[in-house]
Chains A and B, each alone.
Chain A
Amino acid sequence: MDNQEENQVEPSGPGVDESVGQAEEPMAPAEPDTPEAAGERRGFIKFFCAFIGTFISVVPFGAGIWAYLDPLAKREGGVGDGFIKVTTLDAIPTDGTPAKFAVVADKVDAWNRFTNVSIGAVYLRLVDGVPKALHTICPHLGCFVDYRQGKNDFFCPCHNSNFKLDGSLAKGVSPRAMDVLQIEVRNKTEVWVKFQNFQPGHSHAVSIS
């Protein structure tokens, strides 16, 4: 059997063990500490171990959490005035029905920087010859809103929100109308849209930055 078990001392419970204060010294003719000195020493060790133990355990977590919070420290500034050329006037249906257009721009994705990739889409439609732009993302919880040809309206397939052609809510759970994007016609035919994303779920459109 285990020979250690023979010389094992019975634990006498915290605070009662009067021998440990002297554990560094050869045990033979040792002067035991006064109870107060032993208590003080033990108190110090307790404090030291708890403090240092916590500190060194927190370091790796601290480094990790610091790095994890990185996204909060980053603000990606837009380029120029934020308007992106989407298409030309001629590409938008003349009968007033909406058409979907991809928004193509440069995109930074962590370590990658892509040029000319799709970053989203917009619905464009002519109202008396003037183009109007709606975001394709549902203001409820961010699904892609469909255009329904037969009913000539917008319909979000996720929670059945229903929008009119001008984007206003017909019925459903969405807290607000579809998001309207600023639009400009430049050089007579170019259609430029100020493309931005909005926080879903609120009754007012708040830009995500």
Chain B
Amino acid sequence: MKSLLDWIDHRTGIRSLTREALFENIPGGSRWRYVWGSTLTFTIFIQFVTGVFLWMGYSASSGDAWESVNYIQNEMTGGWLLRGIHHWTAQLMPVLLLLHLMQVVIDGAYKAPREVNYWFGVLLLLLVLALSLTGYLLPWDQKGFWATRVATNLMNLVPFVGPEMQKLVVGGTEYGHHTLTRFFALHAGVLPGLLVLLIVGHIYLFRRHGITPAEPVIKRDAYFWPDQVFKDTVACLAVMVAVLAVVISVPGAHLGSPADPSEPFSAARPDWYFLFLFQFLKLPFFAGDKEVWGAIYIPGIAVGFICLMPFIGRWKLGHVFNIGIIFVFLGGAGALTYLAKQEDVAGPNSAMYLRGVLGDTRDARRVTALAKARGIESTALSLLKDDPKTQGARLFAQHCASCHRYDGHDGLAVELASAVTLDELENRIGIMTRFFSGDAVHPDWLARKSGTQNPWQTVQSILDAETDGKFDVIASIELQEKQSAPDLKGFATEQWISDLLDPHQYISSRYFGGTTHKDGDMYKKFLNRKVSKYDAEQRNMLESIAVALSAQAKLPGQAVTDQVDAERIRKGIQYLEDDIGCIDCHAFGEPDPDADGPDLTGYGSRQWIVDFVKNPEHEKFYPDNNDRMPAFGVKKILTDKEIGLIADWLRGDYFKLPVDAQGH
């Protein structure tokens, strides 16, 4: 062993190198405040190692980036750990950078002859921020996509060459393959290369000039080894442990839903350390053509000022001034960051922001599960776009929810964990919860007593009413338009039809209370005149009809009961045709041009819903008594595929995760 070392040493001089490194003098001895540089070097080392390994799984194209990151995170053994370390170390770096910068300024380590080294440090800081910015886009999720667009659009403001610069960085006018290839080359090639050069220079110059002691120097000088090495090692260990703790508890790092230029994303935000700049731009002062000041000139001046500090610091007062300015910057950035966060979780648009976050998480889970179960034939985004559960609900919210409802909301509400007591609900709207917890509830969102069909109320009004209980909560605000057409949750299920046939329910807002049908023959001549006077036996027949009619829909969720109830269904059809005589007004089994009411053949089946949505005025449905519903297919408002997605969503006919299957 020793002779091997001798051999190596003889040829490389490694021993004197290590000795030089370890027996570097530290005036005033080792100190904890000197550890930040070492922790930064260590985090950069972590990023390089994990980055290169991530590279082995990452694919920089707009059709593959999300897919490959998802694969790393959710399919590869240990991929979550790898990605998690890279992600969370990047989150920690701005903190370390800041601490390092503050130590340097406060201790006056930027003063002559160390100006150049100080500038290297400032450049390093900017480089690491650039790495974070470029890395943020690489997963190609909604968050990175929309937030990075904001960043590159700001380049437009650069005087004279802005638009050209933007085009070059983006690789065209639109975000796409070349945006990723370019960002990735920057992220994994150009910027790390520069980083290495600067670090070598930085450490070389640092060694050349030695450490600047923190005043007052009360201790004796000491070598780097062993005490400072010990402190540095402990600090690096703390960094590694902190990162690992977060990575393991998450586990990994969050991946949003795939980038979609056609879906709004109300939670587009840069990573937290850029929030102050983001918030800065919201100041009214920078409105209109003054934006360039907030985006470019003022930050540029600030960086310029930081670079000039060594000269200002030559005077004793100048040094104090520098320290003051650093704290002013820090205070300002801190305040802006807080304001940005506070506006997001409690400002006037916070209900939208928080719902955006929740919706994205839901979609991300969904697409990850679909990718796992089915594989991705083209892109992950197309999995979502072809998924009735996701896309059907979106289409419903856009085209149907102005009149209809889905369980009282527009179809897009995100279900939250129920609140077991009023107190819990109260706690969950608290500012602290909203800042830090995914369980947060916005006061404008809706809630109702658990297990009831009650109309949703805003959480605030429930809190005001102070009636205790268990509450269901959804992330959805009250819709502008009042409900004026049936609530389609559970459409054509036994329960839904059975409730429909209840005279009170029929004219309630849940069904036809908001439509002209409440004055139609179905209510007047049948439900009100006859059903309301039914005896127990007749009511039982009506129930059987509900079961039989519901079987026409062939709902996937009722496949088993439809089989078990075969006998009852047979009877129900008999009642429908003879005893109760629905066919006096409805066609059933065969077309009936004289029927007033909609055709009940295949009622609630995919075909029936598709035909109906295409054209409610078709003679099978409401040829002369259609109430407002547009002919979505005939007027080409929706394509056949879109109508199919809505139908499948309403029928619950889509890929079910094991959890879904239990829950709903």
Contact A20 B222 (CB under 8 A): yes
Chain B residues near A110 (CB, 8 Å)? Answer: 68, 71
* Contacting residues of chain B (430-444) with chain A, CB-CB under 8 angstroms: none
Do A49 and B233 have beta carbons less than 8 Å apart?
A: yes
Tell me, rounded to whole Å, the shortest Cβ–Cβ distance linking B74 to chain A: 10
Partner of A27, one of B219, B227, B240, B376: B219
Binds B, one of A61-69, A89-97, A172-180, A195-203: A61-69
Whether B29 is near chain A, meaning CB under 8 Å from some CB there, is yes
CA separation between A60 and B305, bound complex, in Å? 37
Kindly supply a per-residue 1/0 record for chain B positions 376-395, scoring 1 wherever the CB is within 8 Å of any chain A CB and 0 otherwise: 11000000000000000000
Instruction: Assess whether B377 is in contact with A67, with CB atoms less than 8 Å apart.
Output: no
Closest to A107 in B: B375
Determine whether the beta carbon of B67 is less than 8 Å from that of A112. yes
- Judge whether B192 is part of the interface by a CB distance below 8 angstroms: no
- Please measure, in the bound complex, the distance between the C-alpha atom of A35 and the C-alpha atom of B244, giving whole angstroms: 39
Interface string of B231-251 (1 = CB under 8 A from A): 001101101100010000000
Q: Are A9 and B221 in contact (CB under 8 A)?
A: yes
Q: Which residue of A lies closest to B371 (CB)?
A: A111
| Complex alpha-carbon distance, A2 and B109, angstroms | 12
Name the B residues within 8 Å of A63 (CB-CB): 50, 53, 78, 81-82, 85
Query: What is the bound-complex CA distance between A26 and B27, given in angstroms?
Result: 13
On whether the beta carbons of B46 and A60 are closer than 8 Å, the reply is yes
Residue from the list A17, A42, A56, A64 in contact with B236, Cβ < 8 A: A56
Cα-based distance from A55 to B79 in the complex (angstroms): 20
Contact of B70 among A65, A111, A114 (CB under 8 A): A111
- A148-184 near B? 1/0 per residue, CB < 8 Å: 0000000000000000000000000000000000000
Give the contact-size bracket for chain B.
Answer: 35 or more
Q: Which of B265-295 contact A (CB under 8 A)?
A: none
Complex Cα gap A14–B225 (Å): 9
User: Are A66 and B78 neighbours in the complex by a CB distance under 8 Å?
Assistant: yes
Measured between beta carbons, the chain A residues less than 8 angstroms from B113 are: 2
Contact A67 B81 (CB under 8 A): yes
Q: A4-B210, A56-B236, A63-B82 are in contact. Are A11 and B76 (CB under 8 A)?
A: no
**A12 CA to B23 CA in the complex, in Å?**
9
The A-contacting residues of B in range 1-41, CB under 8 angstroms, are 19, 23, 25, 27, 29-30
* B221: chain A residues within 8 A (beta carbon): 7-9
Within 8 A of A (CB), among B199-247: 209-213, 218-223, 226-227, 229-230, 233-234, 236-237, 239-240, 244
- At the interface, yes or no: A128 with Cβ under 8 Å from chain B? no
**Is the beta-carbon distance between A113 and B377 smaller than 8 angstroms?**
yes
A67 / chain B contacts, CB cutoff of 8 Å: 53, 56-57, 72, 76-79, 81-82
Q: CB-nearest residue of chain A relative to B53?
A: A64
B233 touches A53 (CB 8 A): yes
Q: Which residues of the partner chain B approach A25 to less than 8 Å between Cβ atoms? A: 219
A14, A17, A56, A69: which has the most chain B beta carbons within 10 Å? A56
With A20-B226, A67-B57 in contact, do A60 and B375 touch (Cβ < 8 Å)? Answer: no
Known: A63-B82, A111-B68, A111-B70. A45 touches B57 (CB 8 A): no
In whole Å, how far is A87's beta carbon from the nearest beta carbon of chain B?
Answer: 25
Is the Cβ of A11 less than 8 Å from the Cβ of B77?
Answer: no
Q: Report B523 CB to chain A, min CB distance, Å.
A: 51
Q: How far is the CB of B82 from chain A (nearest CB, A)?
A: 4
Q: Which residue of A lies closest to B113 (CB)?
A: A2
Cα–Cα, bound, A7→B25 (Å): 9
B residues less than 8 Å from A64 (CB atoms): 49-50, 52-53, 82
For A19-31 the 0/1 string (1 means CB < 8 A from B) is 1101111110000
- Neighbouring B residues of A48 by C-beta, 8 Å: 230, 233
CB of B622 within 8 A of chain A?
Answer: no
* A108 on interface, CB distance cutoff 8 Å: yes
Chain A residues with CB under 8 Å of B42's CB are: 56
For A57, list chain B residues within 8 Å (CB): 45
Does chain B have a CB within 8 A of A79?
no
Binary CB contact string for chain B from 55 to 96 against chain A (1 if under 8 A, 0 otherwise): 011000000100110111001111101100100000000000
Q: A70 interface residue, CB < 8 Å from B? A: yes
* Residue pair B23, A49 in contact (C-beta under 8 Å): no
Nearest opposing residue in chain A for B27, CB measure: A4
**Across the two chains, which residue of chain B brings its CB closest to A22?**
B220
Query: Does B374 lie at the interface of the complex (its beta carbon under 8 Å from any beta carbon of A)?
Result: yes
Contact of A73 with B77 in the complex, beta carbons under 8 Å: yes
Q: How far is the CA of A60 from the CA of B50 in the complex (A)?
A: 6
Contact A70 B77, beta carbon cutoff 8 Å: yes
Of all chain A residues, which has the CB nearest B378?
Answer: A112
Partner of B85, one of A52, A60, A73: A60
In the complex, the answer to whether A111 meets B75 with C-beta atoms within 8 Å is yes
* A115–B75 CB distance below 8 A: no
Is A75 part of the contact surface with B, judged by Cβ < 8 Å? no
Instruction: Tell me the chain B residues, 573-624 only, with Cβ under 8 Å from chain A.
Output: none
Residues on the B chain within 8 Å of A20, using CB: 222-223, 226-227
Contact with A along B145-157 (1 / 0, CB 8 A): 0000000000000
Q: Are B25 and A114 in contact (CB under 8 A)?
A: no
User: Contact between B78 and A2 (Cβ–Cβ < 8 Å)?
Assistant: no
Q: Is the CB of A46 within 8 A of B226?
A: yes
Of A8, A14, A68, the contact of B53 (CB 8 Å cutoff): A68
A208 within 8 Å of B (CB atoms): no
Report Cα–Cα, A93/B227, bound state, in Å. Answer: 83
Contact among B25, B85, B229, B371 with A4 in the assembled complex (CB-CB below 8 Å):
B25
Q: How far is the CA of A45 from the CA of B230 in the complex (A)?
A: 7
Q: Which residue of A lies closest to B50 (CB)?
A: A60
Please report the C-alpha to C-alpha distance between residue A110 and residue B79 in the assembled complex, in whole angstroms.
13
**How far apart are the CA atoms of A19 and B26 in the complex, in Å?**
13
Q: Which chain A residues lie closer than 8 Å to B213 at the CB level?
A: 4
Q: Determine if A23 and B30 form an interchain contact, defined as CB atoms under 8 angstroms apart.
A: yes
Q: Is the beta-carbon distance between B377 and A114 smaller than 8 angstroms?
A: yes
* A52–B237 CB distance below 8 A: yes
Q: How far is the CA of A55 from the CA of B49 in the complex (A)?
A: 14
Q: Given A17-B223, A27-B220, A68-B56 in contact, is the A112-B376 Cβ separation under 8 Å?
A: yes
Contacts of A9 in B (CB 8 A): 25, 221, 223
Cα distance, A62 to B441, chains bound together (Å): 40
- Can you list 5 A-B contacts (CB < 8 A)? A9-B223, A11-B23, A27-B218, A56-B236, A69-B78
Give me the 8 closest cross-chain CB pairs, A-B, nearest first. Answer: A113-B375, A64-B53, A66-B78, A27-B220, A60-B49, A111-B71, A11-B23, A23-B29
Q: Which residues of B contact A (CB under 8 A)?
A: 19, 23, 25, 27, 29-30, 42, 45-46, 49-50, 52-53, 56-57, 64, 67-68, 70-72, 75-79, 81-82, 85, 113, 209-213, 218-223, 226-227, 229-230, 233-234, 236-237, 239-240, 244, 371, 374-377
Given contacts A4-B213, A20-B223, A64-B50, 12 further A-B pairs with CB under 8 A are A5-B210, A17-B223, A20-B226, A45-B230, A57-B45, A59-B85, A60-B49, A67-B53, A67-B56, A69-B78, A73-B77, A115-B377
